[in-house]
Amino acid sequence: MTLNLCVLTPNRIVWDSEVKEIILSTNSGQIGVLPNHAPIATAVDIGILRIRLNDQWLMMALMGGFARIGNNEITVLVNDAEKSSDIDPQEAQQTLEIAEAALRKAEGKRQKIEANLALRRAKTRVEAINGIS
């Protein structure tokens, strides 16, 4: 009995195959999904998606969206998703530093909102590379 996971972004399909288990970060905490999970619909926060295939954990950075868990079918719709193997560590670190600097300089409600979002995304990308399963 395997789970079928589908991760979709607006311009491409990032993942479409079977997995053993996933751990998803939602607005109300992390949830783990095993085969035959009860059907739920949940919002997905900017965070890391852990995928287990045969005792090996893979990490993907998700930039917020929605997940629908049905009869062993998981559909995750996100604005952007990157596999940890596709992220360049140095570039991710630089983006994080730029985002932090931007947040410190931000003035006014609007710039703060933008800067916060950018910072959270940059952090997630760095975590995806560094995180140990």
The nearer residue to other proteins, 55 or 110, going by C-beta atoms, is: 110
Measured CA distances, 61 to 2, 17, 70, 93, 110 (Å): 23, 17, 22, 14, 25
Residues that bind other proteins (CB under 8 A): 6, 8-13, 26-28, 31, 38-44, 63-66, 68, 70-71, 75, 77-80, 108-111, 113-114, 117-118
The nearer residue to other proteins, 104 or 109, going by C-beta atoms, is: 109
Report the C-alpha gap between 112 and 49 in whole angstroms: 26
Report the C-alpha gap between 3 and 71 in whole angstroms: 9
Nearest approach, Cβ of 79 to other proteins (angstroms)?
5
Nearest approach, Cβ of 117 to other proteins (angstroms)?
6
Nearest approach, Cβ of 55 to other proteins (angstroms)?
27
Nearest approach, Cβ of 34 to other proteins (angstroms)?
16
Residue holding tokens 């009995």?
1
The nearer residue to other proteins, 51 or 64, going by C-beta atoms, is: 64
The nearer residue to other proteins, 65 or 92, going by C-beta atoms, is: 65
| Contact in structure between 34 and 1 (CB atoms under 8 Å) | no
| Contact in structure between 32 and 4 (CB atoms under 8 Å) | no
SS3 36: coil
